[in-house]
Amino acid sequence: MESWEFGLAVRRWRDRVAPDAIGLPVGGRRRAVGLRREELAGLAGISVDYLTRLEQGRATSPSSQVIEALAGALRLSDAEREHLFRLAGQAPPGLDVISARVTRSVQRLLDRLANTPVAVYDAAWTLIVANQPYDALMGETTSWRGIERNGVWRNLVGPGTRAVHDRQEHVEFEAGLVADLRLTAARYPADRGVTDLVRRLSANSPRFVELWDSADLVTYPDRSRNKVIEHPTVGRITLDCDTLIVAGDDLRIMVYTAEPGTEDAERLALAVVLGTQALIE
């Protein structure tokens, strides 16, 4: 298929999604029949520039993660999702490959948490989509490309995150991430993406090799735990970080909240407001 057919399909499906149906404000005058381009880009976790190039046929070969994110944001049916993959020249992922699909039920959950920092990862800890409050809290994610979107890579090789750990917490966090990835690799032996990720981590991180070869099979540490975030504007915020596992689709949903009425809740609200305004501007 020609790349313009992929872009045309995305534009047509974007026009049919009512903003109020997914929790977006509908104030002011709107030229767009359905979602604005920046709204779809935000929902899919990609840049507006990249979405523009996709729609205009100037960007080709989108990754399966991007296709899945667009399919979820556009509320595509199973048949439409498969068609979108075919338009991109790809076969929809099978059961032996890690899914990056955000199902309609998960998307509804994200819509209801529109004011709460939420990120969705696949089974290998590659970021599928993050909402605007998450970007406001943790830093913009839409510019991340390829392996930069993988949490194991970012924590062992890349720049890390705004989360603050003491030495012991950092050791346990790294061990838990690698152990979880090792379990994922065992569940999806045919997934070339996981094989390539392990190869690149092994080539760039002696710490990864040490943990990967360890006989200890630790589990990912505390799926519900406190996490301290070093925000560049409002300072340190102590939050509850809950990681919810969607068993059937093998997704990880990470949610950040604070106890209502606390100073941390006020700082989180301020960080979200300031960050969201900056992302819009």
Ordered per-residue pLDDT tens for the chain, 281 residues: 456 899 999 999 999 988 776 656 665 566 667 888 988 888 887 889 999 999 998 988 888 888 988 988 898 888 898 899 989 988 777 767 888 888 888 888 888 898 999 999 999 999 998 998 999 999 989 888 889 999 999 999 999 999 999 998 888 889 999 999 999 999 898 888 899 999 999 999 999 999 998 866 655 555 558 899 999 999 999 999 999 999 888 899 999 999 999 999 999 999 999 887 765 55
Backbone angles phi, psi at 236, to 5 degrees: -80, 135
Token output for 131: 């909402």
What are the start-end ranges of the E strands in 109-265?
118-121, 127-130, 163-164, 224-231, 235-246, 251-257
Residue carrying the six token digits 């949490």: 151
- The pLDDT of residue 153 is 97
For residues 169 and 163, give the distance between their C-alpha atoms in angstroms, rounded to a whole number.
11
- The pLDDT of residue 255 is 96
For residues 117 and 241, give the distance between their C-alpha atoms in angstroms, rounded to a whole number.
10
CB 145: neighbour CB atoms within 10 A? 12
DSSP secondary structure, 40-55, as one string: HHHHHTS-HHHHHHHH
CB 58: neighbour CB atoms within 10 A? 12
For residues 267 and 235, give the distance between their C-alpha atoms in angstroms, rounded to a whole number.
8
In what side-by-side order are the strands of the sheet with 118-121?
127-130, 118-121, 251-257, 235-246, 224-231, 163-164
- The pLDDT of residue 197 is 96
Q: pTM for the full model?
A: 0.74
